[in-house]
Amino acid sequence: MPKTFEVVYLDPERVAFERKGDTLSLTLQTDGAPEGASSNIVHYPRVVLRACFPVSDNTKFLSVRDATDETIPELGIIEDWSQLPPTSRDAVAAELGLHYFVPKITRVFSIKEELGFLYWVVETDKGRKEFVMRNSVIHYAREVMPGHWLLIDVNEARYEIPDVTVLDTHSQKLVQQFLYL
């Protein structure tokens, strides 16, 4: 029999997010004490957030997951995190800023292929960057729309080329050479 899945919405008034260093934690007030617990407060020392749909509007529908236990697929969904108290809202904004930080490539200085990797030197809207990407365009580069590319480096950082046609001629030639099959 297939597993059923029930969406659990987290009440912004009953959750508290906190960032300590690079770690986001969640304290959740539940309706009743969990089995074997004496309190209706549950603390998750490490959680991750992922935008559901649409990803372009990451204020709506955030999936909250326990990062310490892979058997718990999802703790719940926050329908609109802008409704959280200010300290929790700041912690969520910082977490999302790290995960969804995607510099836009405005110029490609060089791409060097070596031992199955592509070494990029680029100019982005966040400054000059160098990154390494596996030379598997099928797995690590996505043409989102014609001429609009999303690149994923070896550290799973993302870079975006919003429109290849607005790049200078040198950049376009490099992109054509290394990204188009």
Q: What percent of the chain has pLDDT over 70?
A: 87
Do 110 and 58 lie in a common domain?
no
Confidence tier at 31 by pLDDT (50, 70, 90): confident
Number of domains in the chain: 2
Do 79 and 121 lie in a common domain?
no
pLDDT at 39: 64
Which residue, 99, 127, 158, sits at the end of a domain?
99
3-state helix, strand, coil in the chain (%, to 5): 20, 40, 35
* Model pLDDT for residues 35-94, shown as the tens digit of each residue: 555 568 899 999 988 888 655 566 788 889 988 877 767 899 999 988 999 999 999 988
Query: Position 122: which residue type?
Result: V
46-69 burial, b for 16+ CB within 10 Å, e for fewer?
A: ebebebeeeeeebbebbbbbbeee
Do 89 and 124 lie in a common domain?
no
Please state which of the ranges 24-33, 129-138, 160-169 shows the lowest mean pLDDT.
24-33
Do 94 and 117 lie in a common domain?
no
d(C-alpha 61, C-alpha 71), whole Å: 21
Which residue, 48, 64, 99, sits at the end of a domain?
99
Do 80 and 131 lie in a common domain?
no
- Give the number of C-alpha atoms closer than 13 A to the C-alpha of residue 36, restricted to the C-beta side: 0
- Is 5 within the bounds of a domain? no
Confidence tier at 175 by pLDDT (50, 70, 90): very high
Using the structure block, give the residue that is written with the tokens 């376009």. Answer: 172
Do 47 and 74 lie in a common domain?
yes
Tokens of 72: 């718990």
- Is 3 within the bounds of a domain? no
Do 95 and 111 lie in a common domain?
no
Do 85 and 22 lie in a common domain?
yes
Which residue, 45, 69, 99, sits at the end of a domain?
99
The whole domain housing 141 covers 105-179
pLDDT at 38: 55
pLDDT at 1: 47
pLDDT at 113: 93
Please state which of the ranges 1-5, 13-17, 92-96, 115-119 shows the lowest mean pLDDT.
1-5
Do 37 and 68 lie in a common domain?
yes
Question: Is it the case that residue 99 has pLDDT exceeding 60?
Answer: yes
Do 62 and 136 lie in a common domain?
no
pLDDT at 7: 85
Tell me how far CA of residue 160 lies from CA of 1, 57, 137, 142, 155, in angstroms.
Answer: 42, 17, 14, 10, 15
Do 95 and 129 lie in a common domain?
no
